[in-house]
Amino acid sequence: MTRLHLFDLDGTLMYGSAAPVEISRQLGVSAEIAALERSFAAREIGPHQFSVAVHALWAELTPQHVRAAFEGAPWLAGIRDVWQEIRGRGEYCAVVSLSPSFFVELLLEWGAHAAHGSVFPEVPFTRPVEEAGILTPEGKVMVADRLCEQFGVTRGDCVAYGDSGTDIHLFEAVSVSVAVNARPHLAARATHVYEGRDLREVYQLVAMARPGVDAS
């Protein structure tokens, strides 16, 4: 039996920050993104409205800005080590995030089998954001189902890692969930809870709980 590990990005793989925040820092619009993040967290705007707003905010965005944001982000330690171990066990790892696909897909370089985010136009932008491509919390479950079909597993073979309300639907859909530096309402729904900055420690919670598996 194999498993599919589904990782959120913002606040989960990235400690205390999010891709839009790191991208906006490169452009000098941190105050503006903070206001949008607050509105999104308060559910005053939805994923599509948020994406349209950041698209406008990032009018001057270049691939160099994106790469600098990615390389300078506060990632958890050990991400590549964990994904290498998952691959070595014959299991699968994927990133499913509401953040822009052009940022999320950079994690393929670190060993993820798949990476899915909200579909934005190519950088620099010459086209608008299309609502159909913007991922929602419910849409994370749909992506997970497609990945299950792709890798030949079921929801019962999945482990979800997340930190906020955007992960609730996915936590409810899979058999094992790990709240990573999470909001209390999500932690209360999780199989495992972790506070810290090392994904290797997160993965040990899952590996140690699996019957018949040596977590060393």
With a cut of 60, say whether residue 216 has pLDDT above it: no
Mean pLDDT, residues 86-98 taken together: 97
pTM of the model: 0.95
Task: Tell me which residue of 167, 201, 170 sits closest to 182, measured CA to CA.
Answer: 167
With a cut of 60, say whether residue 156 has pLDDT above it: yes
Q: Which two tokens stand for residue 16?
A: 């205390």
**113: three-class secondary structure by DSSP:** coil
With a cut of 80, say whether residue 214 has pLDDT above it: no
Mean pLDDT, residues 21-30 taken together: 98
| DSSP-assigned states of every residue in 84-100 | HHHHHTT-EEEEEEEEE
End-to-end CA separation in angstroms for the chain: 19
With a cut of 50, say whether residue 215 has pLDDT above it: no
Mean pLDDT, residues 25-44 taken together: 96
What sections of 5-162 are H helices per DSSP?
Answer: 19-27, 30-41, 47-57, 63-72, 79-88, 101-104, 137-151
Instruction: Give the pLDDT band of residue 210 (cuts 50, 70, 90).
Output: low
Task: Tell me which residue of 8, 166, 11, 197 sits closest to 93, measured CA to CA.
Answer: 8
* Mean confidence (pLDDT) of the chain: 95
User: Cβ-count burial of 37 within 10 angstroms (0-12 exposed, 13-18 middle, 19+ buried)?
Assistant: middle
